Structure 1
């Protein structure tokens, strides 16, 4: 049997093999691989009848090389462009129609350059604590975004603090953590609380995530941090309004080690950075 493998380009492999029924054998291998250099492997064997032989040629995918410096530079530039577009928008609460369009265009450029996301083969990429730096839905000036929620800085003296997503891929926990400051009558200081909306999650397809609401826990911070956390009773499903079904889904459209872009079931664009 003789085989020849030669890789003329980084992403393909040509395999040539033949078999003969002669009784002699011989093999030799030349190989060099640094992510770009092709490899050559040659082998030959003979057994039995000399005139009986078989020849096979096949082309298969070659292990892809590491990202080129030019590609890394492109991704870095597009990430900087996106972060620059959303900075100063108070996570989207101060976004105008033009701001929304500019942020969406910048996100689409990064999504296109990064290519499809495949969480099915690498779910561990979701693991961690992610800080929200932009949500297009917050332009509605409510804590619910495009969903019903209390207004921010209008009728109620509510100030939105940091927003995080804490994801545990082992236990399938998905917590939305929101820091809020509630105004109080003078001379009382404002009340600082952290609301944790606990969910379970499951992967749908290669890049879509479905979350199912579990419970809400509220914990005071600052001067009242010694108070125990309060668990808000869950509304029974039979009494829950259709606008708040307790579950939702979103698609991860871009993700690397420190940046994640998602698009929600109500066309909400969100940008996160690892925290």
Structure 2
């Protein structure tokens, strides 16, 4: 609310008062009969409004934030909503709702993504910080996959997407820790699911699976990588076609939001 300073002196006294009486704005009042309901703005610091009985000083309202500032605040809101959820593995129904609402606000404010004009923004290595499908407690997300927790001794590490807009390579990179019987230490591996991608419309992406490469890390890093070729389509289960589609709903230089063909919300930051 704007602050207001009122003077109880008669108008005629204000009109003849010397400039020294007003240290805030020394020249706002002049000996002129045109003072009645007159307003003036000095360097956007103070507004003077005069009427028949008093002079009112009103601080001007602060300027509205720019669109970039507004979008940045909504992005921070989304990142705050998904932080601490272990990429979605620890998300409750309330967490899922809050993340989805924050993403919708950001998507609406930023407007549609045009990858035809900004394909270069996809380039790079992106780290997954949230997937709504991980709340299902499976590593396959909304698709069939090994469960997390105590059923299998698998611990999910970091998940990345590596995108090359020139070669059309689209790799999902997953770090895993595989339990082993005592006294053997757990095995650390990195699985790279190689895909090719193509643009659909202005913001859609279609990926086609090619192969999986598994490479041991840590104490077993000297072992060679193992390539697992793609299963022929005739032998592939109907639930796993090796293809997927998603829409990029928000994209800037360091943050990407996508929505998958099965309703999965994902949030990435540049790695």
Match of 2:13 in 1: none
1:124-145, Cα deviation, whole Å (9 max, x unpaired):
1110000000000000010100
For residues 132 and 263 of structure 2, what CA distance do their matches in structure 1 show?
A: 9
For residues 194 and 261 of structure 2, what CA distance do their matches in structure 1 show?
A: 19
**Structure (1 or 2) with the larger CA radius of gyration:** 2
Match of 2:106 in 1: 110
For residues 187 and 84 of structure 1, what CA distance do their matches in structure 2 show?
A: 40
The answer as to 2:119 corresponding to 1:120 is: no
The answer as to 2:200 corresponding to 1:236 is: no
Q: Does the CA contact (< 8 Å) of 2:206 and 2:245 recur in 1? A: yes
SS in 2 for 1:161: strand
1:28-81, Cα deviation, whole Å (9 max, x unpaired):
xxxxxxxxxxxxxxxxxxxxxxxxxxxxxxxxxxxxxxxx96222211211111
Match of 1:74 in 2: 70
Q: How many residues of Structure 1 are paired with residues of Structure 2 in the alignment?
A: 208
Match of 1:129 among 115, 125, 132: 125
For residues 72 and 116 of structure 2, what CA distance do their matches in structure 1 show?
A: 25
Cα offset, 1:252, TM superposition? 0.2
Q: Does the CA contact (< 8 Å) of 2:116 and 2:202 recur in 1? A: yes
CA root-mean-square deviation:
1.0
SS in 2 for 1:200: strand
1:252-267 to structure 2, matched below 5 A, reads 252-267=248-263
Match of 1:224 in 2: 220
SS in 2 for 1:137: helix
Say which structure is richer in helix: 2
- List 4+ stretches of structure 1 deviating above 4 A: none
- TM-score under structure 2 length normalisation: 0.75
SS in 2 for 1:167: strand
- TM-score under structure 1 length normalisation: 0.74
For residues 257 and 152 of structure 2, what CA distance do their matches in structure 1 show?
A: 30
The answer as to 2:91 corresponding to 1:95 is: yes
SS in 1 for 2:167: coil
Say which structure is richer in strand: 1
Match of 1:138 in 2: 134
SS in 2 for 1:109: helix
Match of 1:174 in 2: 170
**Runs (5+) with no aligned partner, structure 2:** 1-63
